Structure 1
Amino acid sequence: MITARLVICAAFLVLWEVASRREWVDPMLFGNPTGVWTAMVEYLPSERSLASLEATGGAVGVSFVIGSVSGTLAGLVLGLSPVVNGVFGPFLAPINSVPRIALAPLFIAWFGLTMTSKVVLAVSIVFFILAENARSAVWSVDADLMTMARVVGLKRAALLWKVVLPSAVPTMFAGLRLTFTYALLGVVASEMVAATGGLGQDIVLYSSSYQINTVFAILVELMVIAVVVNWIFNLVERRLLVWQET
């Protein structure tokens, strides 16, 4: 399977290179693999690239931590309290259906071209997705197990720590893995709309000057970040599943 994937990727890169060199496609608009590699060598170690990576990475990290912690806590409360869920639960689906990038101009008007506007946009994505995820995780806990825990006299706090969390953590962790990617997308999209720095702003800058190879280099950088973080989450998730089985 891995060999087949490598062959497909290699064939695509060769076809792309040939199409660009023979001008079957416009090299200025589509670039080529050798040009992307050259752009990566020149752009990635540059001072601008490192500053942009710091700006984007900082915003993603802050927004992911704030959104994941608050969203998970909110979802646990919704899942454990029928009263709270009855009041606030119906708002989750409509809010999650709103494309957040459409709110970027509003956040920029409120907070200006600052890191805050990027963080708020990403948090608005992560929070509501994880709130829904955590609520569903609580509801997925075995009903008989919950009943037995209440019969033996477990209080709400003990019920949460000894029954709900051990059963729901793997599901919630899968949600965390997903929402990191959404946090990254939210921050980059916000930077592309308006920002004073960041990888999203670099994409806009280089695409407007038709430096397409550099744009692809930035996209490769973002892809590598997402893949590495996803691999880390997968590794931790597998360990959690082993812990749950024991």
Structure 2
Amino acid sequence: MQTSSSSAKGVILITGASSGLGMGMAREFSKRGYDLALCARRLDALNELKAELTGTRVEVAALDVTDHAAVFETFRHFRQQFGELDKIIVNAGIGAGAPIGKGGFEQNRATLDVNLIAALAQAEAAMEIFRDQNKGHLVFMSSLSAIRGMRGQMTSYAASKAGLAHLAEGLRLETLHKPITVTTLMPGYIKSEMTAGQDAAKTPFIIDGVKGARLLADAVESGRAEATIPRWPWTVVRGIMRMSPLWLLRRMN
């Protein structure tokens, strides 16, 4: 069994690391001195990223998170490579969706399969490792869309992220006062491949991917139970969304 480099701050496993926020966080955590276990469907992109990241150890593996058996195998393999895993970030996800009842069932099912069911598989595999180690930090990439129901093409996406947030909170209740930490990240709009089709001028409070990755990494390192990214203005918006009647919520999304 190999071990992490002695100079590293720890080992972080990130799923969906070949693009978007996963790739951004990998770059940011590498700069901060963490060893990395990176997985995604596109192994070629992961190898390019590995070649770019210097100064810390990086291991990569191809993984489709909807192959649930492969999730367990890959997480166990990374643990064997490094000896221990300190943080696991359940990041892999998709933003596809269609209005309910308009022929988009397969697309909506895929969104829930990737964002929620596959996230459950990742949580199971991560907690298996953390329980055996008796320590670890599990991080879920949810969304501010999880706060309330969303309409149109966002309905299934928001539902998947709400389910993910509740999954995280349930685990947080179970691990309270134990050496396993559970964090829920709730980002607003951050530029990535997922937002590439959106008009930035019409997307409120959107921030660039580099800043977003930095803020996400800050939130992970803080170990907070929940983190809104960025705090301003989304903490205020989050509170308004929670209290809004349906007629106002409809105008907001």
Q: Same fold (TM over 0.5)?
A: no
TM-score normalised according to structure 2 size: 0.24
Greater RCO, CA 8 A, separation 6+: 1
TM-score normalised according to structure 1 size: 0.25
Between Structure 1 and Structure 2, which shows a larger proportion of helix residues? Answer: 1
Larger radius of gyration: 1
